[in-house]
Structure 1
Amino acid sequence: MAQRSKARVGRRRPRGWRALALVLVALGLAPAAAEPAGAPGQPVGTVSGLPIPRYVSLKSDRVNLREGPSKEHRTSWVFLRAGLPVEITAEFDVWRKVRDSEGSEGWVLHSLLSGRRTGLVTPWKKAPEARVYDAPGGRGATVAALQPNVIANVKSCDGEWCRVWGEGFKGYVAQRDLWGVYPGEKFD
């Protein structure tokens, strides 16, 4: 029998809480739950109600990647870069299963993750640069040429171009040159 992580002990809701909540909503005594985020039909996390998978970034410059969802599990990797984008692929209690740009997977405490969107510039390439323009669509002047593995803060994406900024640059980069946003993804 699997042991419960200490974080779950004492945080259980009383039996029948869901039925009581539905009755209160039906009677108009409690607000209805908000519609889950994400596209219709997209899976959502059982804990957060947010889309699965989704990209987030690391809050700290030292984050343990564990083999399982508890502190008792062995640390398999330590991330040493705050702002690094990771993809959440599963949720369990206060733990999130994440994957990095190289495909490494493991569990991270949710408090070490941020909803702030970042992108890793062409981690699959070694030499070519990703150009940052002062206007979307590759129009306008080149304001920077970013080397692979540079972390860019992502303000918005229109499905083809993302508005990014970082130390010494601000402008638009082709969405295909970033790991940390989905192809065709749009957000502000």
Structure 2
Amino acid sequence: MTTTHSFRRCMAALLAATLAAPLAAQDAAVTATTASFAAPVMGPETNLPLPRYVSLKAKEANVRRGPSLTHRIDWVFQRRDMPLQVVAEYGLWRRVIDREGQGGWVHYTMLSGSRTVIVDQDRLPLRTQPSDTAAERAELELNVIARLGDCDGDWCELTAGGYSGWAQRHVLWGVDPAD
């Protein structure tokens, strides 16, 4: 009787472990999936979302290899209002990338919260309303920098060269689908 009882207890434990393993794996997968839909990562210095878009405030800004004045300057951004994406923060420094994915560390005083975009399509129609059938107000050349206004679905309101109007979001760099 003792052997049969021990055998049953052992089989019950084995069955419980066999059934529990997939459930534990499923719980871990659900937790990982839920975490990916959790609140965005916030910058440790500004408590603003990372990544986020900003623009270059100065007409020139040194781009350094690390977050201090002692780090080597790799290049210099030379286009005022150029949109940049902040991907990290450390003290007074922001790690930024441009639309080609190039970047480095820039002092925060060189950046502005004003939103701009770069036009990624030559002769982009700037329309009076957010619609393909709306009248064209102007055409923007490739690489023009425009001030970003409100976005409505697939359309964003822009201001460039004294003109304001709407352009399709997918041909602009400096704005995400969720913005």
Instruction: Specify if TM > 0.5.
Output: yes
- The residue aligned with 2:84 is 86
Which whole-Å CA distance do the structure 2 matches of 1:85 and 1:58 have between them?
6
Pick aligned residue for 2:43 from 45, 51, 59: 45
Which whole-Å CA distance do the structure 1 matches of 2:104 and 2:160 have between them?
28
Larger relative helix fraction: 2
Which whole-Å CA distance do the structure 1 matches of 2:51 and 2:159 have between them?
24
Quick check: 1:137 aligned with 2:131?
yes
Which whole-Å CA distance do the structure 1 matches of 2:42 and 2:133 have between them?
37
Give, in angstroms, the shift of residue 138 of structure 1.
Answer: 2.2
The answer (yes or no) to whether the contact 1:64–1:79 under 8 Å persists in 2 is yes
What do the CA deviations read for 1:164-184 (whole angstroms, capped 9, x no partner)? 102132100101111000024
Moved runs in structure 1, 4+ residues, more than 6 A? none
- The residue aligned with 1:111 is 109
Which whole-Å CA distance do the structure 1 matches of 2:69 and 2:115 have between them?
26
- The residue aligned with 1:8 is none
- The residue aligned with 1:95 is 93
Output the aligned Cα RMSD.
1.4
Alignment of 1:1-188 (within 5 A): 41-122=39-120, 128-185=122-179
Give, in angstroms, the shift of residue 40 of structure 1.
Answer: 5.4
Q: Percent identity?
A: 41
Which whole-Å CA distance do the structure 2 matches of 1:139 and 1:61 have between them?
37
Single out whichever of 45-54 and 142-151 deviates more from structure 2: 142-151
Who wins on radius of gyration, i.e. which is larger? 2
What residue ranges of structure 2 are gaps of 5+ in the alignment? 1-36
What secondary structure is seen at the aligned counterpart in 1 of 2:50?
coil
What residue ranges of structure 1 are gaps of 5+ in the alignment? 1-38
Letter in 1 for 2:47: G
